C-alpha cells in the first residue's frame, strides 16, 4: 500500500469521525424544532404497527400526509426497539415547537438521523475526501441531520442515486443503473423534493447522447427509460400508503403540500423568491448558540461558485444536480431552510473543486511572481517623486486616513455616547493598549452605549457578518448588483445597437433624449420615481384608487410589503438612471469597430445574430468592461435611491449609513459597527472586481486564440 | 450596406418610442405636480395634467424652500461647496494621476490597488474620521468643512479617471518633447495637459455633481440652517412633506429647479466631451 492510498483512507476515516462527532454534539444540544413532534409521532405510529405485527396497518397510516412515509417508517423501526410510550399530542401544523418530547425517543430518532447524515458525508468522502469534509462540517446540514427530520435518510438516498449512476457511466454495468433507480425511488419516498436528483440524471443522459439524438437514434435512450420506469415502480412499491388508491392518495398528498403553501406560517414568514440563496449564505449558528463549533457555510457557498465550472467538467451530473435543485428551490413556493439539504452534497463537491482550483492558481501566481518582476530604475523613480508627493499628501489625508481610521474604530466600540472620549484621544489609547496587549478585549452588548471607548478586538466582525448574511442583506445586495447592472447593459446596449443601424430616422434626437436621465441627479431621479411608487400618495396608488380593478397595474399595489416585489420596483428607477452610461459606452465602442469587417461577414453569409454574437460583442468588450465594472460598484453601493424611499436596511451602504446616523431610529450612532460594514463592503467588492476581471481576461484570451 | 427596410425602420422607431415613454413617465409625474397650485398638502386624486395650473409652487420654492433660508443662500452654499470640492479634488488629484500614469517606481502596483480600494468605499465610510478631524479643527459645520468632505468623496474617482486619460496619450508624443529638451513639467503643461483637457473637464464636472447632489452626509455634518445646501433642503422637504405640512407640489418644482443647471451643463458639454468619460482607450 503506498502513501497516497494510506492518506486517502486516513482522511476518509477522519471525515467519518468528524461528521459523527459534530452531529452527535448537535443532537445533544439542539432545542426541539418545528415538525420534530410530527415525525416523532409518525414514527411512534409505525413502531406500534411493527410491535403488533399489524402489516396491513401500513396501508392506512401516514401521519402528515404531505410527506411520503419512508423516512417516518425508518424512525418507526428504531422506535420499535424501545419501550412504547403514549403518542405525542396531535397539534395544528401552525403550532410552535413542542415544549417536551419523550427523551429516549427523541434521542434515538436524532441519533438515527445523525447516522444517516454521517453516512452521507462518508459516501461523498469516498469520491472526494475534501467534499466529504465540507459536507461533514456544513452547519445547516448538521442541524437538519441531527434532528428528527426527513432529510437525513433522503439525502443519503439521493447521494446514493447519483453515485450509483456515476459508477454505471464508468463501468457500463447494468447493475449500477438498477441500484441507482432503486435509490431514486426510495429517495422520493422519503421526501418528494429529494427526487429532483432524478432530473439531473435525466438531463445528463441527454447531454451524453446528444449525437445519437441528433441522428435520431433513440435506442440509446432505452437504458435510461428503463431506469426511470423502475424508479417509478420502486416509488410506488416502497410506499404502502399509496397501494389502496395510488392516484387519489398522491393527489391528497400534494393538495396537502399546496395547503402548506397557503398556510399562515409560510405567509407570515414572507420570504423573498431568493430566500434559498439566503439560507445557503448564512448559518444556523445565529439561532443556536454553542451547538456548532464553526460555520463554514458561507465559505462553502462561495467556493462552490468558484468551482462550479470545474465540477461541470469533472462530474457533470453533480453540477446538474446542484443547478437543477437550486432552480427547483427558487421556484418552489415554500422556502423552509431544511429544503436546501437537497443540494448541500453537490454544493460541498463544487466547493471542494473551488478550493483546489483556488489552491492551484495561488501556487501558479507565486511561481509567476518570481519570474515576472516589475522593472523600474532609480532615475525614473526619483523623477516621479515631485509628481507624487503633493497628491499623495492630499490622498493620504482625505482618503487613506479615513480608510485606516475605519479599520481602527472597527476594533473598538466607538459610538455616539463615547464621542467625547474618542475626541480626547480615547480611540488611540484603546487601540495602542489593545494591540500591544495591555488592554484585554471587552465584548459589550449591541447596541454599544458605553461612554468610554473600549477595545474589542475583531470580536465585532463575525456577529456583524452573521447578521448581514442572516438577514439576507448580503444576498439582496449581490442580486441587486447583478440584476441592476445586467438590465442596464441589456437596455443600454440594445438601444445603442438599434440606433446604430443604417439610416435610423431622428437618431440625433433620440440619442439626446435617452441621455436625459443621466443628466438628472440620482437623488432627484429617485424623488421623481417616489412620486409614482410611494404608497397612498404616489401616482400608482392614486390611479388604483380612482380606477379600481380596471387599472392594469393594480397588482403592484402593496409592493412595499413583499421583498420580491420591492426588489423589482426599485429596479425600475435604477435602470432608468443607469442605462445612459452604458448606451454611451456602447456607442463609443461601436465607433471603434471597422465597418468593413461587417461587409466581410455578410459576404460570408453570417446572419445579423451571428455577427452580433461573434463579432460585435467580443470587440465591444474592452470598452464596455470598465463601464460595467463602474456601474456594478455603483449598484453595490447604491444608497441615495433607497434612502429617498426610507428603505434603511436594503443594501450594506444604507445599513451602514443608518447605523452611523445618530438621529436614525435603530440604535443610531453605532460608528464602530458602521465601520465594520464598510470594511466588509470593501472586502466583498475587491473580491468581486478581481474575480470579474480575471474571468473576463481568460475569456478574451479564449476569443483571441 | 444599404439602409434598413421601412418595416424595420417602423419597428425600430416603435421600440425607441417605448423607451422614450419610459424616460418620460417620472418626468411627467413630477411636472404635473410642480405646476399644480391647487395642492395644499399631500396629493389625493389621480390627475394626468396639473389640476390647477399655477406657477405658485415655483415662486414659493424660489423664495424660501427651507425654513426661513432664502433660495439664493441655498444656491450659493451649493455652489461654493460643490465647485470648491470639484476644483480641490481635480487639482490635488491631477499630479497623483500623472505620476501613476507616467512613471514606474517601487510599490506602484500596491499604490494603484490602494487607489482602487478607495474608489470602492461607500461615501459613508469617510464620514466618521472626517467628522472627528473637522470637529477638532472646529470647521465641521462650516461650508469649508463640507467642501473638504465632498472633495474626499470625489478624489478617488478623479485620480482613477484622469490616470486613464494620461495613459491614453501615446508615449511617443511625450518622448518627442523630451528629445527637444523639455523637462517633465514643461511636457506636462504644454502637451499632456492640453490633450487631456476634455477628460479633465468631464472629471471636474462629475466631481461637481457629486457635491451638488449629496445630502445624506451633509446632514450629518451641518447643523446651522444658514449652511444648508440646495440638495439638503430638498431632502428636508421630502421629510417634511410626509407629514403634509407643505404642499407636495414644492417637491416637484424644487426637483425641476435643481435639475435645470445640470441639464444645461450636460447639453453644453455633450457629444465630444461625453465620450471622453471612461472610454479613453477609444478616443
User: For residue A320, what are the CA distances in angstroms to A122, A196, A317, B195?
Assistant: 21, 10, 5, 54
A93, part of any domain: no
Percent over 70 (pLDDT), chain A: 94
Structure confidence by residue, pLDDT tens digits, A655-673: 888 888 877 665 678 888 9
HSE-up (13 A, CA, CB side) for residue B228: 22
**Residue A274: partners with Cβ closer than 8 Å, 6 or more residues away:** A330, A472, A475, A476, A479, A564
Does the structure show a pLDDT above 80 at A480?
yes
A93 vs A285: which has the higher pLDDT:
A285
Question: Do A54 and A110 sit in the same domain of this protein?
Answer: yes
Instruction: State mean pLDDT over A200-218.
Output: 90
Q: Structural domain of residue B24, as residue ranges?
A: 6-54
HSE-up of residue B35 (Cα within 13 Å, Cβ side) = 11
The grid coordinates listed for A75 are: 424512525
Using CA atoms of A638, A644, A647, A649 in order, give the dihedral in degrees to the nearest 10. 40
Domain co-membership, A227 together with A249:
yes
d(Cα A447, Cα A695) in Å, to the nearest integer? 41
| A137 shares its domain with A264 | yes
A294 vs A274: CA distance, rounded Å: 25
- Closest residue to B22, CB basis, from A414, A502, A576: A576
Residues A488 and A636 in one domain: yes
> What is the CATH classification number for the domain harbouring A551?
1.10.3720.10
Do residues A228 and A280 share a domain?
yes
**Smallest Cα–Cα separation from A422: which of A444, A455, A399, A397?**
A455
| pLDDT value at A102 more than 80 | yes
Q: How many CB atoms lie within 10 A of CB B40?
A: 11
Q: What is the pLDDT of residues A225-275, one digit of tens each?
A: 999 999 999 999 999 999 999 988 888 888 766 555 556 666 667 889 999
Angle between helices B143-167 and A378-395 (to 10 degrees): 150
Among A296, A327, A356, the domain-final residue is: A356
**Residue numbers in A near B257 (CB within 8 A):** none
B1 domain-assigned = no
Q: DSSP letter string over A57-97?
A: GGGT--SSTTS-SHHHHHHHHHHTTSPP-PPPP---TTSPP
Q: List chain B residues with CB under 8 Å of A381.
A: 103-106
Please tell me whether residues B179 and B251 are part of one structural domain: yes
Tell me the CB-side half-sphere exposure of residue A636, using CA atoms within 13 A. Answer: 25
Q: Which residues of A touch B114 (CB under 8 A)?
A: 400
Residue A301 has phi, psi (to 5 degrees) of -60, -40
Among residues B126, B198, B130, which one has the least CA distance to residue B156? Answer: B126
Q: Identify the pLDDT of residue A700.
A: 45
CATH number at residue B275: 1.10.3720.10
* Count of CB pairs separated by less than 8 Å, A with B: 290
Residue-wise pLDDT for B102-142, tens only, equals: 887 777 777 777 777 777 777 777 777 788 778 878 888 88
Does residue A12 lie in a domain region?
yes
Distance, in Å, from the CA atom of A663 to the CA atom of A675, rounded to the nearest integer, reads: 17
The region of weakest confidence among A148-162, A435-449, A687-701, B59-73 is A687-701
Specify the pLDDT at position A702. 39
Best probe of the B interface among A377, A414, A521, A577, by most B CBs < 10 A, is A521
Task: Looking at the structure, tell me whether residues B24 and B71 fall in a common domain.
Answer: no
- For the beta carbon of residue B183, count every other beta carbon within 10 angstroms: 10
Q: Are residues B73 and B204 in the same domain?
A: yes
Same-domain status, A30 and A173: yes
Predicted TM-score of the model (pTM): 0.86
Mean pLDDT of A485-490: 95
Cis amide prior to A447 (ω within 30 degrees): yes
Interchain contact, B128 vs A409, CB within 8 Å: yes
Same domain (yes/no): A247, A178? yes
Residues 156-195 of B with CB under 8 A from A: 156, 159, 184
Residues 6+ apart with CB under 8 A from B44: A537, A542
- Whether B230 contacts B22, CB under 8 Å: no
What is the mean predicted confidence (pLDDT) over A544-555? 82
Is the model more confident about A421 or about A701? A421
Picking from A406, A521, A682, the nearest residue to B212 by CB comes out as A521
User: Looking at the structure, do residues A643 and A661 belong to the same domain, yes or no?
Assistant: no
Mean per-residue pLDDT of chain A: 87
- Count the residues in chain A: 705
Which chain A residues contact residue B104 at CB under 8 A? Answer: 374-377, 380-381, 384
- Residue B82 inside a domain? The answer is yes
Residues A457 and A513 in one domain: no
Confidence category of residue A503, pLDDT binned at 50, 70, 90: confident
Cell of A156: 443519503
Cβ neighbour number for residue A432 with a 10 Å cutoff = 13
Does residue B189 sit in the same domain as residue B66?
A: yes
Question: Chain B residue with minimal CA distance to A661?
Answer: B220
Does one domain contain both B216 and B192?
yes
Residues B16 and B75 in one domain: no
Q: Is the pLDDT of residue B276 over 70?
A: no
Question: Of A160-164, A330-334, A405-409, B73-77, where does the model show the most confidence?
Answer: A160-164
Are residues A526 and A466 located together in one domain of the fold?
no
Average pLDDT (A418-432) is 83
Q: Do the domain assignments include residue A693? A: no
Do B136 and B74 fall within a single domain? yes
Reference A474, options A667, A626, A301, A325; nearest CA is A301
Task: Please give, rounded to a whole number of angstroms, the shortest distance from the CA of B279 to a CA of chain A.
Answer: 6
Rounded mean pLDDT of B164-184?
79
Instruction: Give, in order, the Cα–Cα distances in Å from B130 to each of A107, A421, B118, B207.
Output: 57, 16, 15, 18
Of A648, A665, A696, at which residue does a domain stop? A648
Per residue in A11-67, pLDDT tens?
999 999 999 999 999 999 999 998 899 999 999 999 999 999 999 999 988 888 889
d(CA B280, nearest CA chain A) in Å = 9
**B196-237: per-residue pLDDT in tens?**
887 788 788 888 888 888 888 888 888 888 888 988 888 888
Residue ranges of alpha helices (H) inside A91-245 are 103-127, 129-137, 139-144, 151-171, 174-190, 196-208, 210-214, 222-237
Kindly state whether residue A390 falls inside one of the protein's structural domains.
no
Give the closest of A391, A592, A657 to B95, CB-based. A391
Number of structural domains found in chain B: 2
Kindly state whether residue A288 falls inside one of the protein's structural domains.
Answer: yes
- The x, y and z cell numbers of residue A447, run together, are 447596541
Per-residue model confidence (pLDDT) at position A625: 77
The residues, ordered by sequence, that sit 6+ positions from A183 with a Cβ below 8 Å of its Cβ are A157, A158, A160, A161, A164
pLDDT band at B278 (very low <50, low <70, confident <90, very high): very low
Considering the domain boundaries, does residue A51 fall inside one? yes
Three cell numbers, residue A141: 446540514
Backbone dihedral region of A558: left (phi > 0), alpha (psi from -120 to 50 degrees) or beta? Answer: left
Average pLDDT over residues A484-508: 90
Query: In this structure, are B131 and B259 located in the same domain?
Result: yes
Mutate to test the interface with A, among B108, B125, B153 (most CBs of A within 10 A): B125
CA distance B68 to chain A (A): 22
- Contacts with A638 (C-beta within 8 Å, 6 or more apart), sequence order: A480, A484, A574, A651, A653
At B110, which helix (H) or strand (E)?
helix B108-120
Q: Band of the pLDDT at A432, cuts 50, 70, 90?
A: confident
Whether residues B151 and B46 share a domain: the answer is no
CB of B132 within 8 Å of a chain A CB? The answer is yes
Same domain, A63 and A200: yes
Banded model confidence at residue A597, pLDDT cuts 50, 70, 90: confident
Highest mean pLDDT (candidates A138-147, A405-414, A524-533):
A138-147
B67: burial class by Cβ within 10 Å (0-12, 13-18, 19+)? exposed
**Are B140 and B117 within one domain?**
yes
Say if the Cβ atoms of A395 and B155 lie within 8 Å.
yes
Beta-carbon separation of A515 and B274 below 8 A: yes
Residue A379: inside a domain, yes or no? no
The CA distances from residue A329 to A66, A141, A271, B23, in Å, are: 17, 16, 12, 36
Chain B hits for A414, CB-CB cut-off 8 Å, are: 128
Containing structural domain, residue A545: 472-648
Q: What is the largest CA-CA distance in chain A?
A: 95
* A94 belongs to a structural domain: no
What is residue A698's predicted lDDT score, i.e. its pLDDT? 55
The interaxial angle of helices B249-274 and B56-63, nearest 10 deg, is 80
B246 assigned to some structural domain: yes
State whether B102 and A384 contact (CB < 8 Å). Answer: yes
Q: Predicted ipTM? A: 0.81
Same domain, B189 and B116: yes
Q: Are B144 and B15 in the same domain?
A: no
Residues A543 and A665 in one domain: no
Residue of B nearest to A497 (CA): B12
Scored b (16 or more CB within 10 A) or e, A581-607 reads bbbbbbbbbbeeeeeeebeebeeeebe
The pLDDT of residue B242: 65
Say how many domains are in chain A: 3
Amino acid at each position: 500500500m503506498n502513501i497516497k492510498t494510506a492518506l486517502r483512507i486516513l482522511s476518509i476515516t477522519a471525515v467519518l469521525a468528524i461528521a459523527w462527532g459534530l452531529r452527535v454534539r448537535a443532537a445533544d444540544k439542539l432545542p426541539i424544532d418545528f415538525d420534530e413532534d410530527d415525525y416523532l409521532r409518525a414514527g411512534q405510529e409505525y413502531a406500534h404497527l411493527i410491535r403488533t405485527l399489524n402489516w396491513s396497518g401500513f396501508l392506512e397510516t401516514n401521519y402528515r400526509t404531505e410527506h411520503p412515509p419512508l423516512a417516518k417508517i425508518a424512525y418507526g423501526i428504531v422506535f420499535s426497539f424501545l419501550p412504547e410510550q403514549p403518542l405525542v399530542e396531535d397539534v395544528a401544523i401552525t403550532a410552535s415547537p413542542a415544549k417536551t418530547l419523550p427523551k429516549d425517543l427523541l434521542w434515538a430518532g436524532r441519533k438515527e438521523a445523525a447516522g444517516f447524515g454521517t453516512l452521507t458525508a462518508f459516501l461523498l468522502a469516498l469520491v472526494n475526501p475534501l467534499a466529504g469534509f465540507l459536507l461533514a462540517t456544513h452547519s445547516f446540514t448538521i442541524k437538519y441531520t441531527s434532528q428528527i427530520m426527513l432529510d437525513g435518510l433522503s439525502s443519503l438516498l439521493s447521494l446514493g442515486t447519483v453515485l450509483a449512476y456515476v459508477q454505471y457511466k464508468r463501468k457500463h454495468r447494468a447493475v449500477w443503473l438498477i441500484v441507482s433507480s432503486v435509490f431514486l425511488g426510495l429517495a422520493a419516498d422519503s421526501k418528494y423534493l429529494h427526487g429532483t436528483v432524478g432530473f439531473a440524471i435525466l438531463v445528463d443522459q441527454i447531454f451524453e447522447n446528444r449525437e445519437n439524438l441528433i441522428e435520431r437514434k433513440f435506442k440509446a435512450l432505452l437504458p435510461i427509460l428503463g431506469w426511470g420506469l423502475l424508479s417509478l415502480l420502486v416509488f410506488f412499491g416502497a410506499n404502502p400508503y399509496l397501494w389502496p388508491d395510488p392516484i387519489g392518495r398522491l393527489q391528497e398528498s400534494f393538495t396537502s403540500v399546496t395547503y402548506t403553501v397557503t398556510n399562515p406560517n409560510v405567509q407570515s414568514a414572507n420570504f423573498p423568491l431568493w430566500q434559498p440563496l439566503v439560507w445557503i449564505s448564512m448559518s444556523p449558528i445565529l439561532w443556536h448558540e454553542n451547538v456548532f463549533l464553526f460555520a463554514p457555510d458561507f465559505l462553502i457557498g462561495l467556493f462552490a461558485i468558484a468551482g462550479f465550472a470545474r465540477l461541470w467538467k469533472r462530474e457533470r451530473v453533480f453540477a446538474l444536480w446542484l443547478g437543477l435543485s437550486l432552480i427547483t428551490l427558487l421556484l418552489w413556493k415554500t422556502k423552509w431552510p431544511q429544503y436546501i439539504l437537497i443540494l448541500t452534497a453537490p454544493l460541498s463537491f463544487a466547493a471542494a473543486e473551488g478550493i483546489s482550483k483556488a489552491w492551484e492558481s495561488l501556487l501558479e501566481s507565486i511561481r509567476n511572481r518570481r519570474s515576472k518582476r516589475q522593472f523600474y530604475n532609480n532615475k525614473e523613480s526619483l523623477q516621479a517623486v515631485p509628481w507624487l508627493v503633493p497628491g499623495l499628501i492630499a490622498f493620504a489625508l482625505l482618503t487613506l486616513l479615513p480608510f485606516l481610521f475605519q479599520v481602527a474604530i472597527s476594533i473598538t466600540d466607538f459610538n455616539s455616547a463615547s464621542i467625547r472620549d474618542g475626541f480626547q484621544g480615547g480611540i488611540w489609547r484603546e487601540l495602542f493598549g489593545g494591540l500591544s496587549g495591555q488592554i484585554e478585549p471587552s465584548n459589550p452588548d449591541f447596541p454599544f452605549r458605553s461612554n468610554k471607548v473600549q477595545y474589542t478586538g475583531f470580536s465585532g466582525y463575525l456577529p456583524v457578518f452573521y447578521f448581514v448574511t442572516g438577514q439576507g442583506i448580503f444576498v439582496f445586495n449581490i442580486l441587486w448588483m447583478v440584476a441592476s447592472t445586467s438590465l442596464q447593459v441589456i437596455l443600454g446596449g440594445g438601444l445603442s445597437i438599434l440606433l446604430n443601424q443604417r439610416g435610423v430616422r431622428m437618431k440625433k434626437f433620440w440619442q439626446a433624449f435617452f441621455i436625459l436621465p443621466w443628466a438628472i441627479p440620482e437623488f432627484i431621479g429617485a424623488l421623481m420615481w417616489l412620486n409614482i411608487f410611494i404608497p397612498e400618495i404616489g401616482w400608482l396608488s392614486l390611479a388604483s384608487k380612482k380606477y379600481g380593478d380596471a387599472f392594469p397595474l393594480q397588482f403592484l399595489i402593496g409592493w412595499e410589503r413583499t421583498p420580491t416585489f420591492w426588489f423589482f420596483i426599485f429596479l425600475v428607477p435604477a435602470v432608468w438612471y443607469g442605462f445612459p452610461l452604458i448606451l454611451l459606452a456602447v456607442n463609443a465602442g461601436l465607433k471603434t469597430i471597422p465597418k468593413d469587417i461587417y461587409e466581410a461577414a455578410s459576404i460570408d453569409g453570417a446572419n445579423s445574430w451571428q455577427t452580433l454574437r461573434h463579432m460585435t460583442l467580443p470587440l465591444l468588450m474592452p470598452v464596455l468592461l470598465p463601464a460595467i465594472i463602474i456601474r456594478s460598484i455603483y449598484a453595490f453601493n447604491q444608497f441615495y435611491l433607497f434612502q429617498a424611499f426610507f428603505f434603511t436596511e436594503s443594501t450594506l451602504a444604507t445599513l451602514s449609513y443608518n447605523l452611523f446616523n445618530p438621529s436614525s431610529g435603530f440604535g443610531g450612532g453605532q460608528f464602530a459597527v458602521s465601520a465594520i460594514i464598510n470594511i466588509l463592503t470593501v472586502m466583498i467588492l475587491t473580491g468581486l472586481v478581481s474575480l470579474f476581471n480575471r474571468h473576463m481576461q481568460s475569456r478574451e484570451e479564449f476569443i483571441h486564440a | 450596406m444599404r439602409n434598413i427596410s421601412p418595416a424595420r425602420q417602423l419597428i425600430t422607431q416603435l421600440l425607441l418610442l417605448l423607451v422614450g415613454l419610459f424616460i418620460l413617465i417620472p418626468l411627467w409625474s413630477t411636472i404635473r405636480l410642480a405646476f399644480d397650485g391647487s395642492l395644499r398638502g399631500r396629493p389625493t386624486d389621480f390627475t394626468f395634467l396639473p389640476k390647477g395650473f399655477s406657477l405658485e409652487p415655483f415662486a414659493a420654492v424660489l423664495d424660501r424652500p427651507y425654513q426661513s433660508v432664502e433660495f439664493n443662500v441655498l444656491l450659493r452654499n451649493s455652489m461654493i461647496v460643490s465647485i470648491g470640492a470639484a476644483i480641490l479634488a481635480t487639482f490635488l488629484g491631477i499630479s497623483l494621476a500623472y505620476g501613476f500614469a507616467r512613471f514606474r517606481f517601487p510599490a506602484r502596483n500596491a499604490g494603484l490597488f490602494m487607489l482602487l480600494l478607495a474608489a470602492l468605499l461607500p461615501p459613508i465610510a469617510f464620514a466618521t474620521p472626517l467628522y472627528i478631524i473637522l470637529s477638532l479643527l472646529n470647521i465641521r459645520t462650516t461650508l469649508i468643512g463640507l467642501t473638504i468632505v465632498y472633495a474626499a468623496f470625489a478624489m478617488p474617482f478623479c485620480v482613477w479617471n484622469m490616470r486613464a486619460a494620461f495613459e491614453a496619450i501615446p508615449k511617443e508624443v511625450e518622448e518627442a518633447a523630451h528629445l527637444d529638451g523639455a523637462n517633465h513639467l514643461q511636457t506636462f503643461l504644454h502637451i499632456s495637459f492640453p490633450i487631456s483637457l476634455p477628460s479633465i473637464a468631464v472629471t471636474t464636472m462629475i466631481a461637481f455633481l457629486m457635491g451638488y447632489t449629496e445630502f445624506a452626509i451633509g446632514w450629518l455634518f451641518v447643523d446651522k440652517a444658514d449652511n444648508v445646501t440646495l440638495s439638503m433642503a430638498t431632502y428636508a422637504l421630502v421629510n417634511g412633506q410626509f407629514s403634509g405640512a407643505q404642499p407636495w407640489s414644492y417637491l416637484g418644482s424644487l426637483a425641476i429647479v435643481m435639475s435645470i443647471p445640470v441639464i444645461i451643463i450636460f447639453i453644453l458639454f455633450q457629444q465630444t466631451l461625453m465620450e471622453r468619460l471612461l472610454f479613453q482607450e477609444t478616443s
